Structure 1
Amino acid sequence: MSRLIVKNLPKVVNEQKLRNLFSQKGVITDLQLKYKDGKFRQFCFIGYENEESAKQAAEFFNDTFVGTSKIKVEICTALGDESKPKSWSKYAKDSSAFIKKQEKQQKNLDTDILNSVDEKKKKKSKIESIIGEYKDDPQFQEFMRSHAKDKLAWENDLSVTNKNEEKANESDNADVSLDEKLANQEISDADYMKELMGEKKEVTFEKKSKNLLKLYTIKVRNVPKKIKREEIKKFFRPSKAHSIRIPPNSNFCYVGFKLERDMKRALSKDKSFLKGKQIHVYEFTHQKDEKNDSNTHKLNPRWQEQEEKLNNEESICDSGKLFFRNLPYNVTEDDVQKLFEKYGRIVEVNVPIDSITRKIKGFGTVVFMMPEDAVRAYNELNGTLFNGRMFHILPGKANDKVETQENDEKNYKDKKRKELKKNASSAHNWNTLFMGANVVAELISKTYGKSKEEVLESTTGGSGAAVRLALGETQIVLDMKKFLESHGVRLESFDEDSTKRSKTVILAKNLPSGTYVEELQEKFSQFGVLEKIILPPSGVTCLIQFVDPSEARKAFKKLAYSKFKHLPLYLEWAPENVFRTEVEKKNEIVNNQTENAEENTKIVENNEEKEEIREKYNEEEDDTLPEDNTTLFIKNLSVETTEEKIKEVFKKIGKIHTVQIAKKKGTDGTSWTPFGYGFIQFKESAAADKALKTMQMIKIDEKNIELKRSDRTLNMPKHSITKSIKNKEQKGSTKIMVRNIPFQANVNEIRQLFQTFGELKAVRLPRKTGVDQHRGFGFIDFINKSDAKSAFEALHLSTHLYGRRLVLEWAATEEDISEIRKRTAESSTTGGSKAKRSKKALMKEEDFIKLENDNEDDDVNE
């Protein structure tokens, strides 16, 4: 618990003095002095940021003095905790004193009822005994008849007494049966005693409502003090006032008229002067009618709106939304998210901040993906302590803004825009560097000082408009890429398949060409404080970073799909790690230094010094794929043997691809226990053969190992795979596969696009059978690897041809005849007699030679 209770404080103490005193042991998030009826109760609650500070403060300040009072400092217990001491006050419902008080009051009530019953029975029996003595005396009867108000009353009394005497014996038995019947009924003790007393049920008579005279009433404000009714009556003449009511010690009065015309005539005297004071006259009849008429009672429009919202309010089980309050002002949105994400996946957390103080307002909302997680969080967190404050949670309100459209046909564009705006916050993985054809044409015309018509006009023998726009877009994208990377943007983060998005960085796209930073700053800064705006020279895509997540969320909701200049503004949440951190920037500097050091190592003549420097700076790593039959099974390994030790032992045999030791997770869930065996994979099969011959039964950590061949293919780490892909790009073939080619593009346009980067050997677009149309992909074969690499790096980012993005991949190298024969033989032998034999298995050697030299559209190897 991070909350303390401080008792026995001096009667004269203020909050600032206690805050200065107790803040010596930590950050105070809450301090409350308790009062009752304006009188200080001499205790308070103090909340700390963490439990350690609260414990230290309790140990340090307990039994110390504040002024002349010895204070008692204790750690508060949680609500509903069984170890919590019972309340001692007679006003607390869970205290024993309160329970005893209630029992005593109930007991006194029962005794009073019994005493009243006994007194009534005694009076009744005494009267009956007196009447019984003289009931037969004629003089007594004549006396009672003459003095009785109701002559029938006396006769009724006599008949009652006679009946009582006759039923005296029957009453005892009737009481027993009555007790049994009443015992089975669920009634209160007081009603039970009344039934036993035989009291008659109270009969209530409704008073007849008098025919009240309806008056037309006015209210007169700013009336002089000690004014008399006659003066007010005289002031409103010729209107005849029927009633005048002046409340005591007030400066207003009420005047009633029988006729409506008299009331209207009196209203005309508004702002007139009465005894030197200007009065104000209002009509009061309709207000009085609304107040008195219960059948036609009307609420305030705002109250009625709130009541309708509460009636239509969803429960937590339906909405999964919670509203929380009483947050410490030093808490961030990430702290709140960490608190709630223990109970389930969170869709949104919103903690608004004050625009002036730049601190949170102390409340917020959270939306869970599964409503049952919200219910569990509500039950477990409500009333608990969070950073020293009592955490209050309520069901969240649904969005009450309902957008209605009267005519869907006329407002179709608005309806579509609102639907897009509603779904704008979903995590799209759009192309970051996309630019429309119109924007590309404008940028090219500005760069080269030409008009759009000249840019798009095709010349004989030259490239068409589509190719020009594709090459222009490629150049603009390359410039944009360099600009973003120079400003600390990680472009590879947009290619990662990550669902996590940033809460403060917004990616704004589809900006008009020629947009300036000042324009964007004016547009977005009205929603909060901006940290940075990164706008490339092209000015069509930019990154906007806010300081606070709630302000960024507000700007996103308001500006998504809104009109900026003459174009709609497309917004997207940037990836979570879109900017490089300071550590990554330092690593880049270190890498640059290592590259310089690697260049200096080339001058060193000693090979050993070269190897040490390479190991120190991790100069190069061989990421080429290993050959077949290069994996060996290692048996009888020691528990203390590591993968590094195996690499040191076998590195003299040949290049090692990877080493893996089989392990299992321990009972604690964190440690790993080796099984005593593992695998080693070499780059070349000759190294594996050499290891089997020369390294059998050698000692590693005082254990003789055994080596056997294995068909297992070891998994490569992700970073090794990416490095091998990069190596393949650098050392791969000259052939590139191009996908997503638009069907209206022809071979000449593809050739014109790629021959910009170097001389081509062949361009192939496989065609559909029976139709003069290609299949949407093709193969580009360069003469030089450097030209192929430069084309791949330039065009694979974001190059669009006829509006479709070209997807580039490195094509596999052509297999030689021996490898094809081997693969064909394996497929024919493993397939059996029933297996379907492929067309490749039926081909001869001449067919492969023909395919290698053929330049037709269909390419079997591809």
Structure 2
Amino acid sequence: MHTAIIAFCIESRLIVKGLPAQLTDSRLREHFASAQKGTVTDVRILYHQDGTSRRFGFIGFKSDAEAAAAKDYFDRSFIGTSRLSVQVVQGTKDAPAPRPNKRPRLAGQKKCQLDAFLQVMQSRTKKGKAWSNEDPSPITCEGSSHSPAATRMSDLEWMRQRMRKTVLDETDKAFEQSDDEQDPPEASTSKRTLDAEEDPTPTDATSTARLFIRNLPYTCTEDELREHFSQQGSVSQVHIPLDSNTKTTKGLAFVTYSTPEEATAAREALDGTTFQGRLLHIIPAIDRRPAEAPSDFKGTLKNQRADQRKKTAGKDFNWAMLYMNADAVASSIADRMKIDKAAIVGADSENAAVKLALAETHIINETKKFFEDEGVNLESFTSKARSDTVILVKNIPYGTSTDELREMFAPHGSIIRLLLPPAGTIAVVERPKAMKSVAYKRLKNSIIYLERGPLEMFTGTPKPKPSASQSTPSGGGVVRLGEGKEAVVAAGAAADEAIVPAATLFVKNLAWATTSDRLRSVFGHLPGFKFARVQQKPDPKRPGQTLSAGYGFVGFVDPDAARKGLASMQGHVLDGHELAVKFAGRGQEDDQEDSRAAAMGGRKSAKMIVKNVPFEATKKDLRELFGVHGHLKSVRLPKKFNSRSRGFAFLEFVSRQEAEHAFATLRHTHFLGRHLVLEWAAEPDVAADVEALREKVRAGFGDGKELPGRKRKLEIDEDDAEVEEE
């Protein structure tokens, strides 16, 4: 714990005292950079008002460790004949109050002493004149040569001085009507003045949730800035402007938080603190005003909407994560099956909608398998958080190559990773900044759709590619649209061997020097331990090498072992960092489905509900679509009074394994342009039904007298009957 406290208190800014009087900033930078103890981000020597050096300055480094190493190396060393004193300096918030300047104070004391001396030394007998203590009054010249009366001018020159230099075009426009035609000119003028004075743009962080940061190091990246400011709240956007000519940073940045309260708290906590050796200056930023379209814009409505879509690209999401072009799907399947595309979607094709849906299902499953092999976490697709470095490229035509995509995205930034599945209907690009430049751009005969990828999408490591002897032959390009009923048994066996949800822990706040072996040695003694891995990310400065991402994953054989590991390792100090352990998102999708099904009254079973069914769909279409992946016992499609479909259906399979296989396979499928939404149907509770039937029978046979609105018989006791007889 002591090591963690020391690591937390070390700053990245040093104060250097005892500098030579003639030392310059460049010479001081060269002196500290020569030892190669770290990256120097800031050098500043302070001077007096008369230009003389105050003989101390500040040095900023990239990290706290570099500053500590430089302090140990340069403290009590010499530069020339002067011995240096190097100490760690805190930010301006922790600095003591500045002392008053000594020189002006001494100068004021000397002046007061001089005035007192002169007053004492004056002669007491000699008196001055009576008006000597009066202030002189300004003298006004009566006859000025610049007065209008001194210059004679003609009537024409006098009239020319009072004429306007420009003639206003006030010609009346015939047959023109307007809403403000009856308004007086004074009212319109005052209204324009009032509108000009009122500026609706807020300048306070409490209303904008946007901060403007200055004095940043030029080597700072958006990821480092996001990590630093995320400690105060949820950061939604980080933007570092670049110089248009040199393509380098300007030392400025904009940080946007999710709420204005978080932005205000971040400004109060981080303003004046040290970040990578520099003192941050944070002020509220105004929201960017939307660019008003010019009034003389002659483009068509179609062009205006296209420009508006490009400007708002990346802000809203109008498509599914695995959206694919239907034409590209049909072309891909037809090319790989060596058949004509008309056999799938042609007019003579029988039930073309079902064939196209099955083709899309096959390509989606193939794409998901390809992404898993490349280290993509498919569970992140259910998260709402979006990444700033990963872009999903959708609606691309079939036949697009990686070279074409690289040529399209390369001018907008360096590409770290580019994934293009074999089907060629969707792609993933990492680290481009081309959301607004490439969005809705035409590629061949299609228009590109871009969407920000989910956060933490690349959390796994790519699987090794199988060798030629181990790879399965493709069978001459023949592709089966669905594994069907033969694969149900294998799917059921694989489901039993799948990783149990809630058995993996997410460990964050790891030290940068912590490795997977080190993490494995710490968690290896726990019962039920299975694996431990520190997540890596590409090093932008050294291509081909990786860096620690600061977090990792620890797996166990069952949820109970993971729960015990969480309780025992929470807050454990590893390499000077206190670990923050929680359950990972693995299995989150299944948990959400189970919880949603439980809320509806049931869990996974042989029955399911299919929502968002097209109104043109029939029972035959649904039976052909879902029958490929399992044996159907019944298909029910409720209809309205006019015999039209109500937009949902109920399916019942022979076994639960077949229902689960169909659910997992068709959950992302589109049918007739609609995304099919699958949910588990609630199983009937036999005990509850029997109890409800008993209550109903009890109410009808003597126990329902308390029900309102029921006719009741008059009951007369024996005592009352005897009284009536008497």
Name the TM tier (shorter chain). Answer: 0.5 to 0.7
The answer on whether the counterparts of 2:18 and 2:83 sit within 8 Å (CA) in structure 1 is yes
2:451 maps to 1:572? yes
The answer on whether the counterparts of 1:739 and 1:777 sit within 8 Å (CA) in structure 2 is yes
Matches of 2:222 and 2:59 in 1, distance apart? 23
Matches within 5 A, 1:658-677: none
Aligned letter for 2:397?
Answer: P
Contiguous gaps of at least 5 residues in structure 1: 87-93, 126-193, 212-307, 547-551, 587-617, 624-643, 645-655, 672-716, 838-862
Change (3 A) 1:16 1:337: closer
1:748 partner SS: helix
1:9 equivalent in structure 2: 19
Matches of 1:779 and 1:789 in 2, distance apart? 15
Q: Which has the larger radius of gyration?
A: 1
Change (3 A) 1:826 1:405: farther
Matches of 2:66 and 2:321 in 1, distance apart? 48
2:509 equivalent in structure 1: none
2:359 equivalent in structure 1: 472
2:535 maps to 1:529? no
1:797 equivalent in structure 2: 668
TM-score, with structure 2 as normaliser: 0.61
Matches of 1:475 and 1:353 in 2, distance apart? 44
Aligned counterpart in structure 1 of residue 309 of structure 2, from 392, 413, 420: 420
Higher mean displacement: 756-765 or 500-509: 756-765
Deviation sequence 1:534-584 (CA, Å, 0-9, x none): 1123323211001xxxxx3x41132233434443322111111222323x9
1:488 equivalent in structure 2: 375
1:123 partner SS: coil
Matches of 1:358 and 1:410 in 2, distance apart? 33
The answer on whether the counterparts of 1:33 and 1:43 sit within 8 Å (CA) in structure 2 is yes
Greater relative contact order, per chain length (Cα 8 Å cut-off, separation 6+)? 2
Change (3 A) 1:101 1:834: farther
Deviation sequence 1:139-188 (CA, Å, 0-9, x none): xxxxxxxxxxxxxxxxxxxxxxxxxxxxxxxxxxxxxxxxxxxxxxxxxx
1:71 equivalent in structure 2: 84
**RMSD over equivalenced CA pairs, Å:** 5.3
Deviation sequence 1:39-74 (CA, Å, 0-9, x none): 766433222445566566556644443333233334
Change (3 A) 1:830 1:764: same
2:694 maps to 1:825? yes
Aligned counterpart in structure 2 of residue 765 of structure 1, from 627, 637, 644: 637
2:203 maps to 1:315? yes
Aligned letter for 2:43?
Answer: L
Contiguous gaps of at least 5 residues in structure 2: 1-10, 149-195, 465-495, 502-526, 528-557, 573-585, 598-602, 709-726
The answer on whether the counterparts of 1:458 and 1:464 sit within 8 Å (CA) in structure 2 is no
2:324 maps to 1:435? yes
The answer on whether the counterparts of 1:30 and 1:389 sit within 8 Å (CA) in structure 2 is yes
The answer on whether the counterparts of 1:47 and 1:389 sit within 8 Å (CA) in structure 2 is yes
Deviation sequence 1:208-251 (CA, Å, 0-9, x none): 3399xxxxxxxxxxxxxxxxxxxxxxxxxxxxxxxxxxxxxxxx
2:717 equivalent in structure 1: none
Aligned letter for 1:792?
Answer: F
Deviation sequence 1:435-481 (CA, Å, 0-9, x none): 3433334444434455554533455xx73222222222223323323
2:440 partner SS: coil
Matches within 5 A, 1:21-60: 23-24=36-37, 28-34=40-46, 42-50=55-63, 54=67, 58=71
Matches of 2:592 and 2:321 in 1, distance apart? 24
Matches within 5 A, 1:221-300: none
The answer on whether the counterparts of 1:313 and 1:398 sit within 8 Å (CA) in structure 2 is yes
Quote how far apart the aligned CAs of 1:755 are. Answer: 3.4
1:98 equivalent in structure 2: 104
Change (3 A) 1:657 1:378: closer
Aligned letter for 1:490?
Answer: N
Change (3 A) 1:575 1:718: closer
Matches within 5 A, 1:154-165: none
Aligned letter for 2:666?
Answer: L
2:438 maps to 1:501? no
Matches within 5 A, 1:451-462: 451-459=340-348
Matches of 2:455 and 2:434 in 1, distance apart? 18
Deviation sequence 1:272-308 (CA, Å, 0-9, x none): xxxxxxxxxxxxxxxxxxxxxxxxxxxxxxxxxxxx9
2:669 maps to 1:780? no
Matches of 1:59 and 1:123 in 2, distance apart? 73
Matches within 5 A, 1:324-339: 324-339=213-228
Matches of 2:369 and 2:664 in 1, distance apart? 13
2:129 maps to 1:123? yes
Matches within 5 A, 1:602-681: none
The answer on whether the counterparts of 1:31 and 1:46 sit within 8 Å (CA) in structure 2 is yes
Aligned counterpart in structure 2 of residue 389 of structure 1, from 259, 265, 278: 278
TM-score, with structure 1 as normaliser: 0.52
1:578 partner SS: coil
Matches of 2:36 and 2:699 in 1, distance apart? 80
Quote how far apart the aligned CAs of 1:772 are. Answer: 1.6
Aligned letter for 1:73?
Answer: V
Aligned counterpart in structure 1 of residue 676 of structure 2, from 795, 799, 806: 806
1:499 partner SS: coil
Quote how far apart the aligned CAs of 1:510 are. Answer: 1.6
